[in-house]
A and B are shown apart, each in its own frame.
Chain A
């Protein structure tokens, strides 16, 4: 992926730094170091500020992540609907803890706050696609869709 080319698309957009980060992350699932440094140059902000922005937003990551980012919503409505059980099942199935990536680089497991699908709790998202009404027994079939 040509980071410079992606950033260039947003260069003339006022305040386009975050949009550019989203675009990079859409391709790579994270924002590599060189992208932060290049973004600072392109958008005329300091490297420290570009890094400060990248680390402020919980959906942006400066750490390498897997192909599929699974987020378990743990906000109150999902919490009472059994988010803890679903999370435990995810950890057991994937063999990783929250914040980790599977050794094959396929899955990263994260916690998230509300994803706005509270009509069918608990909810997980995989690469931002919501999977509502989750329960531990559904996990295997949902993960099987990730190829």
Chain B
């Protein structure tokens, strides 16, 4: 029976999130002290050896990412991505609502490693209450002096999913339209206001205090070796326990949904699960024993993404859900690059046609061709991932499409 293992949610429900004293009494800010006694290089080395990989979706080794920041850079920034726009995802909100100082401490550890004096938390516009909550925590931390000379400012997004992409996020902090930049240069070299910048997800930062405290080997030994540690998953849809779970990364999808999640309600049967948010793959029953780590998921042809787990029972209409998802991307495309701006719009059009029972196999072929081009040709991750639900459902739930068409798919 799979069990939770809490690192980033260790304090959740145990301390008063509004109380800095509670956090300090639970050993808070000790790791920052410890990190500050180390040379920045040593901190980066430790984080790299822990094999902590970004929890925002791309799964890049965090220590390696920090290592791109030139040591000689006089000004550097630490940016926390709290844009959490993937539908079905509420893990970062859960972490911050329960333990805001854990995030601040994690960011301060990173700041020490890259010699940064200024941090930004980019919080999605849908969470104004989280912004207030964080501002209170920052004020407490400043008053108590625990952050030293590292300052953190919270910036609020404006309802643009694309701003979860790190360069679009940077553009938005700079007060611009949230259009992604081309890479290279990567933010580690030229990010916020052209200065070297580390952008990490809330969950990534929140792992740092425990890693500093317990060491790289401790962390590397938890869960799957290539993507160690825990991962917070947020369950939604047709599952009994709809809440956040933090589990070791070698937990399988099946264990998460059926052991922890309590299975499908009302005696219905499982049909599909979409993991990683609305840009994630639809996973059929035969892949449920895949472990929830980045590489195992990728090897199974699916994505880990942000950790959203959207469960659908046997009564759910896959084509209808994917049509809805196609509308999401049509709405959220920033419009900068051609294949995404026009492609998301036309994908939605074609999905609507299929969903309405008016499409031919030729339309499905068009949609497939378009989707495959988008995955390779779009400028940023939004356009590259937007076709994933379409392509994976066409692969695993082809019959659902077939039933909607005017003629048979050849």
A and B directly contacting (CB within 8 A): yes
Beta-carbon nearest neighbor of A57 in chain B? B158
Of B10-18, B323-331, B361-369, the one with at least 4 CB within 8 A of chain A: B323-331
In the complex, the answer to whether A60 meets B158 with C-beta atoms within 8 Å is: yes
Among residues 203 to 243 in chain B, which have CB atoms less than 8 Å away from a CB atom of chain A? Answer: 234-238, 242-243
CB contact between A15 and one of B87, B175, B238 (< 8 Å): that residue: B175
In the complex, the answer to whether A57 meets B178 with C-beta atoms within 8 Å is: yes
Interface size class of B (residues with CB under 8 A): 35 or more
CA distance in complex: A56, B333 (Å) = 10
Beta-carbon nearest neighbor of A79 in chain B? B324
Among residues 2 to 26 in chain A, which have CB atoms less than 8 Å away from a CB atom of chain B? Answer: 14-19, 21-22
Q: Does A125 contact B (CB under 8 A)?
A: yes
In the complex, the answer to whether A76 meets B126 with C-beta atoms within 8 Å is: no
Interface size class of A (residues with CB under 8 A): 35 or more
CB contact between B175 and one of A16, A74, A80, A117 (< 8 Å): that residue: A16
CA distance in complex: A40, B13 (Å) = 45
Give the most central of B125, B172, B174, B316: most A CB within 10 Å: B125
In the complex, the answer to whether B88 meets A76 with C-beta atoms within 8 Å is: yes
Beta-carbon nearest neighbor of A39 in chain B? B175
Q: Does B47 contact A (CB under 8 A)?
A: no
In the complex, the answer to whether A14 meets B193 with C-beta atoms within 8 Å is: yes
Given A19-B155, A120-B242, check contact A74 B324 (CB 8 Å).
yes
Q: Does A139 contact B (CB under 8 A)?
A: no
Beta-carbon nearest neighbor of A112 in chain B? B159
Among residues 114 to 130 in chain A, which have CB atoms less than 8 Å away from a CB atom of chain B? Answer: 114-121, 125, 128-129
Grouping DSSP codes into helix (H, G, I), strand (E, B) and loop, the A interface class, with mixed when no group exceeds half, is loop
In the complex, the answer to whether B156 meets A18 with C-beta atoms within 8 Å is: yes
CA distance in complex: A115, B174 (Å) = 24
Specify which chain A residues have a CB less than 8 angstroms from the CB of B84 in the assembled complex: 116
CA distance in complex: A19, B122 (Å) = 11
In the complex, the answer to whether B324 meets A17 with C-beta atoms within 8 Å is: no
In the complex, the answer to whether A17 meets B175 with C-beta atoms within 8 Å is: yes
Specify which chain B residues have a CB less than 8 angstroms from the CB of A76 in the assembled complex: 87-88, 274, 278, 310, 321, 324-325, 328
In the complex, the answer to whether A59 meets B87 with C-beta atoms within 8 Å is: no
Q: Does B202 contact A (CB under 8 A)?
A: no
In the complex, the answer to whether A18 meets B87 with C-beta atoms within 8 Å is: no
In the complex, the answer to whether B177 meets A56 with C-beta atoms within 8 Å is: yes
Specify which chain B residues have a CB less than 8 angstroms from the CB of A74 in the assembled complex: 324, 327
**0/1 interface trace, chain B 155-167, chain A, CB 8 Å (1 if under):** 1111111000000
In the complex, the answer to whether B243 meets A119 with C-beta atoms within 8 Å is: yes
In the complex, the answer to whether A21 meets B158 with C-beta atoms within 8 Å is: yes
In the complex, the answer to whether A77 meets B332 with C-beta atoms within 8 Å is: no
In the complex, the answer to whether B321 meets A116 with C-beta atoms within 8 Å is: no
**0/1 interface trace, chain A 16-54, chain B, CB 8 Å (1 if under):** 111101100000000000000000000101000100110
In the complex, the answer to whether A52 meets B90 with C-beta atoms within 8 Å is: no
Can you report 11 A-B residue pairs in the complex whose CB atoms are below 8 A from each other? A15-B174, A18-B158, A22-B158, A59-B158, A74-B324, A79-B324, A114-B88, A116-B90, A116-B124, A118-B89, A119-B242
Rank and list the top 9 A-B pairs by shortest CB-CB distance, nearest first. A57-B158, A59-B159, A75-B87, A15-B175, A114-B87, A17-B175, A58-B159, A118-B236, A15-B174
